[in-house]
Structure 1
Amino acid sequence: MYSAFLFLGNLGATEILMILFIVLLLFGAKKIPELAKGLGKGIREFKDASKEIKKNIEEEADSIRENK
């Protein structure tokens, strides 16, 4: 769970609140849930794709090991 917040780096609470305030101003309160849903879907698809790639690499590595 901690790794999900690594992209925040050295941002403090004040900076994060300012970013959230700017997002609220730019998109409005009604649009933010839709944006969050889209972001969540994108992250989920990325994780699924990375798991699939890892699985394919492991299968190929196992196949190569068996053929030796």
Structure 2
Amino acid sequence: MFRNGLEPWHLIIVLVVVFLLFGAKRMPDTARALGKSLRILKSETRALKEDFKEGHSGENDGVAHKTIKAAPGESAARQVPVAEPEPETTQR
């Protein structure tokens, strides 16, 4: 019965229901907004990957880092590095 998650006829039913709910006039606008959102997501993930690669190149980015220690009994994999901003110096 549930051997395969989604089969082609499942997708056809979903598309028909969406078409009936939103109508033909809103579908192009919805598709355009979805495409724009996906492009933004793709560019942001690419930027995060580049920042991550640059951050581990050994350069100091001016941010002090510390690691939150795991509580006794917790896995060491739960230790998360946290960036702390450096104290600001104000000139008057």
Q: After TM superposition, is the score higher than 0.5?
A: yes
Aligned residue pair count: 57
Sequence identity (%): 35
Q: 1:33-61: per-residue Cα shift (whole Å, max 9, x none)?
A: 11000000001100100000000010111
* Higher Rg of the two aligned structures: 2
Take 1:33 and 1:12, find their aligned partners in 2: how far apart are those partners? 25
Structure 2: gaps of 5 or more residues: 61-92
The structure with the greater share of residues assigned to strand is 2
RCO higher in structure (CA 8 A, sep ≥6): 2
Structure 1: gaps of 5 or more residues: 1-8
Query: Which residue pairs with 2:6 in the alignment?
Result: 11
Q: TM-score by structure 2 length?
A: 0.57
- Structure 1 residues 48-67: aligned runs within 5 Å: 48-62=43-57, 64=58
The structure with the greater share of residues assigned to helix is 1
Question: Cα RMSD between the aligned structures?
Answer: 1.7
Does structure 1 residue 42 correspond to structure 2 residue 37?
A: yes
